[in-house]
A and B are shown apart, each in its own frame.
Chain A
Amino acid sequence: MIRAVLVMNTQGKPRLAKFYEFMPVEKQQEIIRNVFAVLCSRPEHVSNFVDAESFFGPDARLVYKHLATLYFVFIFDGSENELAMLDLIQVFVETLDKCFRNVCELDVVFNYSKMHTILDEIIFGGQVLETSSTEVMKAVEEISKLDAASSAINLVPKSVSSWRSR
Chain B
Amino acid sequence: MAGSSSSIMDNLFQRTLDDLIKSMRLQLLNESTFISKSIEDIRREIKSTDPQTKSTALQKLTYLSAIHGVDMSWASFHVVEVMSSSLFSHKRIGYHAASISFHDSTPVLLLITNQLRKDLSSTNHFHASLALHCLSTIATLDLSRDLTPDLFNLLSSSRVFIRNKAIAVVLRVFDKYPDAVRVCFKRLVENLESSDPHVVTAVIGVFCELSSKDPRPYLQLAPEFHRILVNSKNNWILIKVLKIFARLAPLEPRLGKKIVEPICEHIRRSGAKSLVFECVRIVITSLSDHESAVKLAVSKIRELLVDQDPNLRYLGLHALSVAAPKHLWAVLENKDAVIKSLDDEDSNIKIESLRLLMAMVSESNVVEISRVLLNYALKSDPEFCNEILGSVLTTCGRNDYEIIVDFDWYVSLLGEMATIPHCQKDEEIENQLIDIGMRVKDARLQLVRVARDLLIDPALLGNVYLHRILCAAAWVAGEYVQLVRNPLELIDALVQPRTNLLPPSIRAVYINSVLKVLSFCLDCYLDQDEGTASSYCCNLAGEQSEMFLVKTHTEAPELVATTREGSNYEQDEGFNPRNTTIESSDDLSDENDTDRVVTLLSMKNFTHESVVSLLNRIELIFSSLTANQDVEVLERARNIFAFVQLVKAEIIDNSGQNVDKKYTQVSAVIKSIRDAFSMELGPVSISAQGRVAVPDGLVLNENLDDLKAICGDIELPSSSSFYTGGPQFGTASDASSSNLLKNDESGPSNESTSLLEHRKRHGLYYLASDKSETVPNDYPPANDPKANSNINDEADALAKLTEQSLLLKKRTNQMKPRPVVVKLDDGDAAPIPDKRPEPINDSLSGAIKDVLGSEANLSVSRSNPLDKSSTKRKGKKKLGTDLPSEMKENLGDAEKPDPENPNPSSKSKERRRRGKEKIVEGEEPEQRGKKKSSHRHGRHKTHQRANSPLNVVSQAPVIPDFLL
Contact = CB atoms under 8 A, between A and B. Distances in A.
A154 B4 contact: no
B52 A110 contact: no
7 contacts: A45-B310, A46-B310, A78-B212, A125-B169, A151-B89, A162-B4, A166-B1
B11 A127 contact: no
Contacts of A78: 212
A28 B212 CA distance: 25
Contact of A79 (B51, B201, B208, B346): B208
Contacts, number: 164
A143 interface: yes
A154 B52 contact: yes
A143 B136 contact: no
A126 B202 CA distance: 11
B205 A127 contact: yes
Contact of B88 (A47, A79, A84, A147): A147
A94 interface: no
A139 interface: yes
B348 A125 contact: no
A25 B92 CA distance: 21
A139 B161 contact: yes
Interface string B135-156: 0111000000000000000000
B63 interface: yes
Interface residues of B, number: 73
Interface string B66-79: 11111110000000
B941 interface: no
B21 A109 contact: yes
B138 A22 contact: yes
B17 interface: yes
B273 interface: yes
B165 A129 contact: yes
Interface in A37-53: 42-43, 45-51
Contacts of A126: 136
Nearest to B96: A116
A16 B171 CA distance: 25
A134 interface: no
Q: Which 8 A-B pairs have the closest CB atoms?
A: A125-B136, A83-B274, A46-B346, A22-B103, A29-B69, A47-B314, A47-B310, A151-B89
A143 B127 CA distance: 10
Given A129-B164, A147-B92, A82 B136 contact: no
A81 B278 contact: yes
B55 to A, nearest CB: 9
B59 interface: yes
Contact of B133 (A42, A112, A124, A146): A124
Given A22-B103, A129-B201, A146-B126, A46 B21 contact: no
A146 B132 CA distance: 18
Contacts of A154: 51-52, 87, 89-90
A14 B209 contact: no
A10 interface: no
B48 to A, nearest CB: 11
A113 B67 CA distance: 12
B348 A46 contact: yes
Interface in A16-71: 16-22, 25-26, 28-29, 42-43, 45-51
Interface in B1-34: 1, 4, 8, 11, 17-18, 21-22, 25
Given A78-B212, A124-B132, 20 more contacts: A1-B209, A18-B66, A25-B65, A28-B69, A43-B346, A81-B243, A82-B277, A83-B274, A83-B277, A84-B235, A84-B239, A113-B93, A124-B133, A125-B171, A127-B209, A128-B236, A142-B126, A147-B89, A154-B87, A154-B89
Contact of A128 (B90, B205, B347): B205
Given A14-B67, A47-B311, A150 B88 contact: yes
Contact of A159 (B8, B22, B345): B8
Interface in B121-139: 126, 132-133, 136-138
Contacts of B448: none
A110 to B, nearest CB: 6
A97 interface: no
A4 to B, nearest CB: 12
Given A46-B346, A81-B274, A112-B21, A125 B172 contact: yes
B895 to A, nearest CB: 38
Contact of A112 (B50, B63, B310, B311): B63
Contacts of B205: 1, 127-129
A127 B346 contact: no
Contacts of B311: 47-49, 82-83, 86
B312 to A, nearest CB: 8
A4 B161 CA distance: 23
Interface string A129-142: 11100000001001
Contacts of A129: 164-165, 168, 198, 201-202, 205
B70 A113 contact: no
Nearest to B67: A14
B102 interface: yes
A51 B318 CA distance: 12
Contacts of B65: 25
A150 B87 contact: yes
B174 to A, nearest CB: 12
A6 B865 CA distance: 49
B212 A158 contact: no
A25 B69 contact: yes
B838 to A, nearest CB: 14
Interface string B267-295: 00000011001100000000000000000
A125 B133 contact: yes
Contacts of B21: 109-110, 112
B349 interface: yes
A132 to B, nearest CB: 9
B116 to A, nearest CB: 15
B206 interface: yes
Contacts of A45: 310
Nearest to A166: B4
B67 A17 contact: yes
B449 interface: no
Contacts of A43: 345-346
Interface string A72-83: 000001110111
B274 A87 contact: yes
B314 A124 contact: no
B368 interface: no
Contacts of B347: 42, 46
